[in-house]
Structure 1
Amino acid sequence: MKIKAFLVCLFFLAGCTSHSQKKDKPKNILRLNIVQDPATLDPRKSSDFVTSTLHFLLYEGVTKMTPYSLVCPAIADEIEVSDDGLEYKFHLRDAKWSNGNEITSYDFVKSWTDMLDPQFPCPNSHLLYCIYNAQAAKSGTVPLKEVGLHIIDHKTFCVILEHPTPHLPETLSFCTFFPVSQIDAVTNPEWSEGKNGHSPISSGPFILTKWSRGKEIVLEKNPYYYDADHVDLDEIHLSIIDNETTCLHLFEQGELDILGVPYTGIPTDALESLRGQGRIQTACLPASSICTFNLGAFPFTNKHIRKAFAGAINRAEIVKNLAILGEAGYTFLPPSLMLEQEYEPLFLEKNPQIAKSNLQKGLLELHLSTSDLQDIVLIHPTTGIYPRLAQVIQDQWKKNLGVEIRLQPYEFKVFLDKLTHHNYDMALCVLIAQYHDPMSFFERFESVQNPKNYPGYCNKTYRKLLSLSHRCKDSKERLTKLHEALAVFREDMPLCPIYHCHNPYLVQKHVKNLQLHRGGSFHLLNVRTEKKK
């Protein structure tokens, strides 16, 4: 027997009047900045925050986040869930692509199936592994036709799962699951590169009308978007500048409307002054700044060495003097995703002898001395807080461990390539939840084949506990298994949190109705820019 599960979202509308734009009304344009060009226009291939941000504006999936709900209906207006939680049936609304063509169940099933082709570069393919035979198909051990994705009719498709996945609606709101137009995919194999001025066919609230690489991206309202009447912005202009200080100057000159991640952060050295002026607003993000260890690189094959470097970081000092609006990372999960009763301090920073003791244990097991650690390199991105953070941590390790490591900055694309191919010793980066459930953290480290598993972590006990948690029908039982998995992860210490992220942001006074998603990101659709006359 099947039951119908309706995802309900409360939309607080100011009234019932039309949002149609009068001919003499000035355009409602929002001016933002991003630090780099998007890596791809294909949402299935996205692997960085900036690129994903653009995809959320251009595309949409079966569900979405709003300021009022973690998940609500999008292109699917009805979802049926079987009693055992193993079968989801999606009924699509009358939605169209930006070229006027109908969005069909084939678009979804084909887009998702292509991601599971072993030859298709999908950094987040692990998010689909709850689907029956998805992981086996990605590894090439079963044919794609045996994956649990089935078209029922042109407006209905069915998903069969390996195990109950209560957070599936939240997961499906992430951009990896946004379908792409098969016209683009078939007729223009290089469509995702945006070459020769080609703009992708969109399903979301905006379409891309201009992309001058390294300079500017222009988005315009999508007239075919099914909910276009409730999109107030006419255009979004995205300049591309990778210097936060320059962007703050442009904001102060009135040339940018909002500063804040992902639309360029505020320079760290300006935060204290801006906060003192009462201009800073903050949002809690489901994200953490971390130091990841390459478990395949000597000497981080040894867990005591990893624990020593993790324990010798003074998080309180970093939050006080550098990441002044962050929260010291004494837990693996950020506060919004934290497991009940997780708050046990990971690191006793008032007792640096613990870190030194772990270092000595590791050196003894590896038959090394401190002088053998001088060639260790910590890599980090060239932008944002990371160059200064790397220097602070370098000094802390020298002071607390007597080890002087080297620093190596990289442009972001090069940096990300080194992370995903495990070509580093240690690295500073950020982990961002892709959906609102603790499993968004845990599942990254379930398989060493996952490109997001930056340490290359592999532990059979950890993997077994996650597998058992998938099959728990009781939420308390699931929580117990996740606690046990976290204890295993904690003992192995493949990475260490430094601070949990809060997003400080600035908004011009003429920008009205800026809202935040429950996950802390900006909701731009209903923004109004009321410029002075």
Structure 2
Amino acid sequence: MVHYLILCLLFCSGCYQKPQNISSKRTQLHLSLRYDPLTLDPRKNSDPVSCSVINFLYTGLTQLEADGSISLNLADSIEASKGYTKYTFHLKDALWSNGEPITAYDFEYSWKKLLSPSFNSLNAHFLYPIKNAKLAKLGLVSTEEVAIFVEDAKTFYVRLEQPNTYFPKVLAFATCFPIWKNTKDPDDKNNAKVFSGAYILEDWKPNDSILLKKNPYYWNTENILIDTVKLHIVHDEQTILQLYQKNELDCIGSVVSPIPHDLIPHVKNSQEACSSDQA
């Protein structure tokens, strides 16, 4: 599968792409968003547009695949205790986009910050399986009492409130992605310059477009075939379809790049388009 199809899956299954693009070697991908992302902080994301952009820029311990399974991402291996109340994570030798190592301390910092009562996040509950996580968010215990323990720069473990077999799958969601500890404000586009994902933020023109550039320090960068991704901010569904028909967009039809409902059957049955579900 050409990698740009995988990128489309980050937006949503059910996108439509032109089949001639599937086999061609692309260097730039053009997609659309209904609006500018509301946040670039993974821990604060709660809407599909922000989540889609964040998935280009950041990554986590695990990754959700198209079939619903998970694969290892920043985690090199994950060990579960016999009763599934403790998970130990061994990290790959991965780097931030500034060349610094991604460490267990980054996860500890990011997760405990997310669980502090003053941190505004609608999805902190993703980490509530961790012992004392919910109590910390409610301000009933200190975040230092949250059961996240760093053994060394590449190893940390968590203890859970109760047995949980699906915890590694939860960690594939953007809320659980770490940020670089020295990033003062991930929501400031002029300050957010250090990322862990396949792409970095090259340029952002509000209400116009976002340009993403391939991250040379991404741990799996040799398998990233698209050099740049341009996200066009297009509010109108009819305009999205027109841009697609003029070959100015490569993928449409997802929740972040919708087209008029009455035209979906036409696009789906067209000789000019195929669904990413078929890839």
TM-score interval, normalised by the smaller of the two chains: 0.7 to 0.9
Please name the residue that 1:50 is paired with: 49
RMSD, aligned CA: 2.2
Identify which of structures 1 and 2 has the higher relative contact order when contacts are C-alpha pairs closer than 8 Å and 6+ apart. Answer: 2
Residue aligning to 2:128: 129
1:193 aligned partner: 188
Unaligned runs of 5+ in 2: 4-24
- Contact 2:111 / 2:178 at 8 angstroms: preserved in 1? yes
TM-score by length of 1: 0.46
**2:267–2:273 contact (8 Å) kept in structure 1:** yes
| Count of residues in Structure 1 that have an aligned counterpart in Structure 2 | 258
Q: Which position in structure 2 is the counterpart of 1:232?
A: 225
Matches within 5 A, 1:94-113: 94-113=93-112
1:17-32 pair list within 5 angstroms: 28-32=27-31
Sequence identity of aligned pairs in percent? 37
Quick one: structure 1 residues 161 and 172, their matched pair in 2 at CA, closer, same or farther if it must change by over 3 Å? same
User: In 2, Cα distance between the equivalents of 1:171 and 1:251?
Assistant: 34
Question: Residue in 2 aligned with 1:245?
Answer: 238
What is the alpha-carbon distance in structure 2 between the residues aligned to residue 143 and residue 60 of structure 1?
27
Candidates 205, 212, 220, aligned match of 1:212: 205
Deviation track 1:325-346 (CA, whole Å, cap 9, x = no partner) reads xxxxxxxxxxxxxxxxxxxxxx
Equivalent positions of 1:107-506 (< 5 A) are 107-184=106-183, 188=184, 190-194=185-189, 197-277=190-270, 281-282=274-275
Q: Post-superposition shift, 1:245? A: 0.2
1:159-204 per-residue CA deviation (whole Å, 9 max, x = no partner) reads 10001111111110000000000121xxx3x33231xx34431101
Amino acid in the other structure paired with 1:52? C
Contact 2:203 2:212 in 1 (8 A): yes
Cα distance in 2 between the residues matched to 1:275 and 1:86: 46
Q: CA deviation at 1:211?
A: 0.4
| d(CA) in 1 for partners of 2:142, 2:68 | 37
Deviations 1:358-416 (A, max 9, x none): xxxxxxxxxxxxxxxxxxxxxxxxxxxxxxxxxxxxxxxxxxxxxxxxxxxxxxxxxxx
Asked if the contact 2:31–2:230 (Cα under 8 Å) also holds between the matched residues in 1, the reply is yes
For the residue of structure 1 that corresponds to 2:163, the secondary structure is: coil
State the distance in 2 between where 1:257 and 1:54 align: 16
> Could you tell me how far 1:260 is from its partner in structure 2?
1.8
Deviation at 1:212, TM superposition (A): 0.3
Q: Tell me how far 1:30 sits from its aligned partner.
A: 0.4
Q: Residues 170 and 236 from structure 1, CA distance in 2 versus in 1: closer, same or farther, beyond 3 angstroms?
A: same
Q: Give the TM-score taking structure 2 as reference length.
A: 0.87
Deviations along 1:39-91, whole A, 9 cap, x unmatched? 11100000101100111111111111234661011111111111111100000
Asked whether the 8 Å contact 2:34–2:235 carries over to 1, the reply is yes
Which AA in structure 2 matches 1:109?
Answer: E
**Counterpart secondary structure, 1:274:** helix
Counterpart-to-counterpart distance in 1, 2:172 and 2:265? 35
**What is the distance in 2 between the residues matched to 1:36 and 1:278?**
29
